[in-house]
Amino acid sequence: MTLFTRRATLAAGSALLAAPHAVRAQGAPIRLGTLTPLTGAGGPYGPVMANCVRAVITEVNAAGGVLGRQIQLVSEDDQTNPEAGLRSARKLIDVDRVAAIMGTWASSVTTAVAPLCWESRTFLATVSGADSITALPHNGWLVRTQPNTTLQGRKFGEYAIELGARRAFFMAPQTPFTQSQFTNMKTAMERAGGTAELLVYDASKPSLRTEVDQALRFRPDIIVMGGYTPDTTVLLRDIFRAGYTGRKLAFAYSVNQQMLSALPNDVTEGIHTLAPSPAENSGGFARVKRIVGNDNPDPYTCQVYDHVNLVLMAMAAGRDGTGQAIRDSIRSVSQGGGEKVDNALDGLRAIAAGRKVDYDGASGPCDFTDAGDISDCQFRYEQVRAGRQTLLRIA
C-alpha cells in the first residue's frame, strides 16, 4: 500500500465512522488485526501465525469479502513483551480501528491487552495458555482456543498412564501454566497409582546435562517436556546423549516441523505429542497444512486459523463489521448445531443463504463456554517416527 492510499483510506474510514450504518455497509473495508510475537522469545511462532491469517483473508477477499466489504489485515509485533504489545494494541484499536485482534501468544501480552480490548469494544481471540486469562472480567469480549491446563494436565497424566508409565518426570521452564499443568498431571497419575516430579529449568541455558541427570536419578519411565521449541531442542539432545530410551511426551507446539528438521531423526524418534484437535475427518486441519506448506502445522497456527474464520463468520452472522457483532454472534457460528463448516468461505456462503452454521476448525470443534474457554476438545495423539509426526488416534 502506498502512503497516499493509506492516508486516503484513513480519511475515508474516519469520515465514514460518523455516517450511519447503512452507508458503511456499501463497501468500506473492514479492518482486522493480528498481534503475534515476531521478535523475542515467541519469535519462532508468530510469523507463521500472521501468514496463515493473511492467507485466509486473501481467499475470502477474492470471493467478495464479508457483507460486501473487503477485509484489510494489519499485522503488528508484540515483541513478546507486554509493554510493546500494549502500544501495538493501542495502535490497532485507535488508529486502524480493527474489529478484532487475533493470535496473542504470550499470556502476559494477552493479560495486558485484554482490558484495552473490552474497554474499546474490540474482540480478542488468543492462544495463550494461562488459566487466569478467561477468569478476567472480560464480559464475553475474549475467547481462547488453547485448552486450559486443568484439561491438558489431566490428559497428559492419563496418557502417560496409558502408555504404561508410572513414574513421570516433568521438565519445563517457568511459564504461567507450568505449575498447574504439573499439578493436574500429577493428580491424574496418582489416581492410577503413579507418581510425578517437577524440575523447572532455565530456558536460556545452552546445556541441560545436569538437569537431565537429575531427571534420570528419579528413574522415570516417562519424561514429560513442557517447554517451547528452542529449549526443548536442547533438552531432547541431552536426553538422547544420556542414553535414556524410555518414553517421552511433549506438547505438539514444541515438537513441531522446525524442530523435526533441526534435529537428527534418532533424537526425536518415538516422542509422543498431544495437541487439541478436531474430529478425524475435519477439513480445517488439511487446509492449514496446505496454507503453511507442511504436514505438521503448529497447533498455534491451527488455532489462529480458527480465530480468523470465526471472526469473519461472526461478522457476517451479526450483519456488522464490528467487535460488538463478533462478540454477540461468535457463538452462533461456532456451536449450537447447523451446517457443519470448516472454513470461512463455505460458512459465509451458507450464512448469506440464511442458513445456521456450526464451525469445526483446525484446532477442534471450537465451542466456547460463557467464560470463553473451549468447552470440549479432542486431542490428536501423535508419535514422531523417522522425523515425521504420525497420527495414532484422535480422541
40 vs 140 by CB, closer to another protein: 40
Q: Is 353 in the site for another protein (CB under 8 A)?
A: no
Q: Judge whether 154 and 188 are in contact, CB under 8 Å.
A: yes
C-beta of residue 193 within 8 angstroms of C-beta of residue 221: no
Tell me the C-alpha to C-alpha distance, in Å, between residue 197 and each of 99, 152, 172, 227, 271: 44, 17, 11, 16, 19
210 binds another protein (CB under 8 A): yes
Which ranges in 192-256 belong to alpha helices (H)?
Answer: 209-217, 229-241
Position 43 contacts another protein (CB under 8 A): yes
Q: How do the residues of the chain divide into helix, strand and coil, expressed in percent and rounded to 5?
A: 45, 20, 35
Residues touching another protein, count (CB under 8 A): 81
Nearer to another protein, 193 or 243 (CB): 243
The HSE-up count of residue 152 (CA atoms within 13 Å, CB side) is 27
Binders of another protein among residues 89 to 108 (CB under 8 A) are: 90-91, 93-95, 106-108
For the bound state, the minimum distance from the C-beta of residue 250 to another protein, rounded and expressed in Å, comes to: 15
**164 closest CA partner among 264, 63, 247, 233:** 247
Quick check: 217 binds another protein (CB under 8 A)? yes
**HSE value, Cβ hemisphere, 13 Å, CA-based, for 185:** 33
By CB under 8 A, the residues from 110 to 129 that bind another protein are: 111-112, 115, 119-120
| Degrees, nearest 5: CA angle 157-301-139 | 80
- Residue 349 interacting with another protein (CB under 8 A): no
Q: Considering only residues 289-348, where is the footprint of another protein by CB under 8 A?
A: none
Q: Does 220 bind another protein (CB under 8 A)?
A: no
- Is residue 285 part of the contact set for another protein (CB under 8 A)? no
What part of residues 143-172 is at the interface with another protein (CB under 8 A)?
none
Contact 108, 118 (CB under 8 A): no
By CB under 8 A, what part of segment 259-278 binds another protein? 259, 261-264, 266-267
179 or 187: whose CB is closer to another protein?
Answer: 179
Under the criterion CB under 8 A, does residue 72 sit at the interface with another protein? no
Within 8 A by CB and 6+ apart from 241, the residues are: 209
227 binds another protein (CB under 8 A): no
Footprint of another protein on 8-37 (CB under 8 A):
14
Q: Is 51 in the site for another protein (CB under 8 A)?
A: yes
CB of 205 to another protein, least distance (A): 6
181 or 277: whose CB is closer to another protein? 181
d(CA 338, CA 7): 42
Place of cell 464490528: 322
Residue 88 near another protein by CB under 8 A: yes
Q: Does 139 bind another protein (CB under 8 A)?
A: no
